[in-house]
Amino acid sequence: MTTGEPTTRDGLLARAAEYAATVPIDLDVAQLEWAISERARRRAGCCRYDADSGEITVVLTWDAYREFGWDEFVGTIRHELVHAWEFQRFGESGHGDRFYRKADGIDAPRHCRSFTDGRLELVCTDEHCDWRPERHRASKPVRQPDAAYQCGDCGSEYVVRHRTSGRTWRTADGYERAREALGDDW
Ligand SMILES: [Zn+2]
Ligand SMILES: [Zn+2]
């Protein structure tokens, strides 16, 4: 097994195929094709099926991988493997009950992750400052905003805001509590 985060497109494809073989799903992963998409907007991955040849291609979005990092991106791979499983078994795939049951069975996210809108934002606490950068990943400034990080414009403290829930935090403890409270809605 390779370790560390892939840094090239070829590296990501090889690692994804290697990872797929470790997922406990009754799917012939050796038959899958893998490809990178540079252009997909909003979708971290997709699964293509050619009904004539039976060829199944898992397409991974490079920018999404760059934003999520490997540890989160494996969720996207698992999600697409469920589509691949449906295509291989049933010749069709969607987000129906069968999909959800299988996704739950291998601990895959039920929904295709989107990635163009940052999940998080850092918000300066100074009311006269409009510094508000987006963040996609739980990087250290997100996990530990109190670890000597500050607004990139004026140097004030900032809060981290989880956009869909509106939840905010300013400390490492606050991050842990938010993460726990949000659970699958993270
Ligand atoms: Zn999907
Ligand atoms: Zn500021």
| Ligand 1 centroid – CA 1 distance (Å) | 27
- Taking a 5 Å cut-off on Cβ, the residues next to ion ligand 2 are 124, 126, 129, 131, 151, 153-154, 156
Band (pLDDT 50/70/90 cuts) for residue 162 is very high
More confident residue, 16 or 133: 16
- Tokens in use for 135? 């963040």
| Ligand 1 centroid – CA 76 distance (Å) | 9
Average pLDDT over residues 108-132: 82
| Ligand 2 centroid – CA 158 distance (Å) | 7
| Ligand 1 centroid – CA 83 distance (Å) | 7
Q: Is 112 exposed, middle or buried (0-12, 13-18, 19+ CB in 10 A)?
A: middle
Which residue in 65, 79, 81 sits closest to 11, CA to CA? Answer: 65
Strand partners, 167: none
Q: Are strands 56-61 and 45-49 parallel, antiparallel or unpaired?
A: antiparallel
| Ligand 1 centroid – CA 179 distance (Å) | 24
| Ligand 2 centroid – CA 106 distance (Å) | 43
pLDDT given for residue 105 in this prediction: 96
Q: Which fold has domain 9-105?
A: Zincin-like (3.30.2010)
Q: Are strands 56-61 and 33-37 parallel, antiparallel or unpaired?
A: parallel
CA 23 to CA 114: how far, in whole Å? 22
Band (pLDDT 50/70/90 cuts) for residue 42 is low
**In sequence order, what are the residues at sequence separation of 6 or more whose Cβ sits closer than 8 angstroms to the Cβ of residue 41?**
116
Band (pLDDT 50/70/90 cuts) for residue 95 is confident
To the nearest whole percent, how much of the chain has pLDDT over 90?
A: 65
Sequence ranges of the domains in the chain: 9-105, 120-185
State the angle between helix axes of 70-90 and 9-20 in degrees (0 to 180), rounded to the nearest 10. 60
pLDDT given for residue 3 in this prediction: 64
pLDDT given for residue 1 in this prediction: 52
Band (pLDDT 50/70/90 cuts) for residue 64 is confident
